[in-house]
């Protein structure tokens, strides 16, 4: 793995771990699953495939952020506004 790619992977892992702190089912579950996924793909050497996985990782980051936003918005809406 090239150096910049290695850094990108580590950054992705850290970003996801950070997001995991707010995971509804708890940080531990998130951390374990995340670790497993990264471990499973740790043998990958094809640079193109790694790039693809990095892209997918960025997509997952965006999805999780969107999930948190929506969850909070809905909770506030339910608590403070009539549900019509």
Q: What angle do CA 44, 38, 27 make, to 5 degrees?
A: 175
Choose which of 1, 13, 31, 68 interacts with another protein (CB under 8 A): 68
Cβ proximity to another protein: between 59 and 73 the closer is 73
> What's the rounded Cα separation, in Å, for the pair 69 and 47?
33
Name residues contacting another protein, limited to 4-33 (CB under 8 A): 14-15, 18, 24
Stretch that binds another protein, among 1-9, 36-44, 49-57, 71-79 (CB under 8 A): 71-79
Q: Is 80 in the site for another protein (CB under 8 A)?
A: yes
In whole angstroms, what is the distance from residue 14 CA to residue 20 CA?
Answer: 10
């Amino acid at each position: 793995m090239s150096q910049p790619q290695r850094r990108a992977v580590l950054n992705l892992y850290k970003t996801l771990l950070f997001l995991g702190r707010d995971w509804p089912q708890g940080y531990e579950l998130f951390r374990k699953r995340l670790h497993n996924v990264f471990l499973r793909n740790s043998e990958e050497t094809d640079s193109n495939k790694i790039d693809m996985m990095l892209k997918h990782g960025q997509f997952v980051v965006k999805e999780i952020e969107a999930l948190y936003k929506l969850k909070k918005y809905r909770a506030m809406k339910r608590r403070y506004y009539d549900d019509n």
